[in-house]
Structure 1
Amino acid sequence: MEVQIKLFATLKDKVGSSKVTVSVAEPANVATVLDAVGAAYPALQSSLPIAVVSVNKSFAGLDTAVSPGDEIALFPPVSGGSSDETLPHPTYFAITADHLDIPAIHAHLTSPEIGAIVSFTGSVRGQTQRDGLPPETVYLEYEAYSEMAELKMAQIAREIWQKWPLVKGVAIVQRIGRLDIGENTTFVACASGHRDQGCFEAARYGIDRLKEIVPVWKKEVGEDQSVWVEGDYRPTEADN
């Protein structure tokens, strides 16, 4: 059978395409697909041992079965609006190229029972000071596997409610595209009745978890070089 694989960030750059196609014998699993990709696209071979694979927008292991028509994506570890009516509390999740309207996002979480909203806002800094990256950043370029990203944002909200049941609302927003120095990149907010009901801790957990499991990548662009930033955390099926 023929299998089409979506590529992101460094993997996309290595082959100059956002999609590749390979042929595998049935029955197939992720391991056989990766073997076929490595054979057909030698430029990807060095990246495959640490690449993350998703099948139908869920993290997959080597033994995960692959069937005709499955949506398969291959990407490096994550570098660090809509709502889901099945979720029990107000939410706002978005992958967007637009500027953040923070009061409007807060409005999604506001209700008569809410007395506290704690938020984290990330922004582009001009000096990275990390080995292998440009010493000074001109701008960042963000890319996302958007359809999977919003599902993972909803998962983070569910994890937050398991850990902090008194948190009533969660907003997670990631911007994509070119972002210049000082522009906002990420936004996480958690709402509760009072400030001592877990909203501070939940907001910190939300941004940390976003950088682990939400498929978003950034490219640091300097005067003389540009580098995709890859994270150290490699999601597994346990992160679904």
Structure 2
Amino acid sequence: MEIQIKLFATLKDKAGNNKITVTVAEPANVATLLDAVGAAHPALQSSLPIAVVSVNKSFAGLDTAVSANDEVALFPPVSGGSGQDNLPHPTYFAVTSDELDIPSIHAHLTNPEIGAIVSFTGSVRGHTQRDGLPPETQFLEYEAYSEMAELKMAQIAREIWEKWPLVKGVAIVQRIGRLDIGENTTFVACASGHRDQGVFDAARYGIDRLKEIVPIWKKEVGEDQSVWVEGDYRPTEADN
């Protein structure tokens, strides 16, 4: 059977395309699928040992079954669950190329019970000072597996409510496309009745978890070099 695979970030660059199709015998699982990818696309072989596989927008293990009708994606660890229906508190999740409208985002979380909103805003810096990256950044290029990203944002909100039950609202926004020095990139906000009800820790957890499980990647672009930034955390089925 033929299985189409979406590619992102470094894998897309190495393949020269954002999609590939491989042929595998039935029944197939992720392990046999990766073997077929390596055989058909040698340029991807070096990336496969650390690559993350999702099947139908959930992280997959080597034993996860795959079929021709599945939506399969292959991507590096993120640089940077279920959907949004029936969430118990106000939320706002977005992957967008638009500028952040923070007052509008706050408005999604505000109600008579809310007395505190704590937020984190990320922005593009000009000096990264990390091995392997350009010494001076001219701009960043963000890419996302948008449909899966918003599902994972909803998952993060559920994890926050499990850890901090008094948090009553969660917003997570990631911008994509070209972002210049000083532009906002990421926004995470948590709302509660009072500032001492876990909102500071919850907001910190939100941005840290976003960089672990939400499929978003950034390319650092310098004067003579551009590099996709890959994270160290490799999500597994336990992160679903």
Task: Give the aligned CA root-mean-square deviation in angstroms.
Answer: 0.7
Counterpart residue identity of residue 59, structure 1: F
Unmatched tracts of structure 1, length 5 or more: none
Per the alignment, residue 232 of structure 1 pairs with: 232
Per the alignment, residue 156 of structure 2 pairs with: 156
Per the alignment, residue 42 of structure 1 pairs with: 42
The reply on whether 1:120 has 2:120 as its aligned counterpart is: yes
The answer to whether the Cα contact below 8 Å between 2:4 and 2:68 also exists between their aligned partners in 1 is: no
Q: 1:185-204 alignment to 2 at 5 Å?
A: 185-204=185-204
Per the alignment, residue 131 of structure 1 pairs with: 131
TM-score relative to the length of structure 1: 0.98
Q: How many Å separate the matches in 2 of 1:44 and 1:151? A: 27
Q: How many Å separate the matches in 2 of 1:229 and 1:124? A: 14
Cα distance, 1:62 vs structure 2: 0.3
Q: How many Å separate the matches in 2 of 1:42 and 1:141? A: 26
Per the alignment, residue 23 of structure 1 pairs with: 23
Q: 1:51-70 alignment to 2 at 5 Å?
A: 51-70=51-70
Secondary structure of the residue that 2:79 maps to in structure 1? Answer: coil
Q: How many Å separate the matches in 1 of 2:102 and 2:233? A: 29
Q: How many Å separate the matches in 2 of 1:68 and 1:227? A: 33
Unmatched tracts of structure 2, length 5 or more: none
Counterpart residue identity of residue 145, structure 2: Y
Cα distance, 1:78 vs structure 2: 0.2
Cα distance, 1:85 vs structure 2: 3.5
Residues 88-126 of structure 1: CA deviation (Å, up to 9, x unaligned): 000000000000000000000000000000000000000
Q: How many residues align?
A: 238
Q: How many Å separate the matches in 1 of 2:144 and 2:93? A: 13
Per the alignment, residue 71 of structure 1 pairs with: 71
Structure 1 segments of 4+ aligned residues over 2 angstroms from their partners: none
Cα distance, 1:84 vs structure 2: 2.6
The answer to whether the Cα contact below 8 Å between 2:144 and 2:216 also exists between their aligned partners in 1 is: yes
Secondary structure of the residue that 2:10 maps to in structure 1? Answer: helix
Per the alignment, residue 142 of structure 2 pairs with: 142
Cα distance, 1:67 vs structure 2: 1.5
Per the alignment, residue 168 of structure 2 pairs with: 168
TM-score relative to the length of structure 2: 0.98
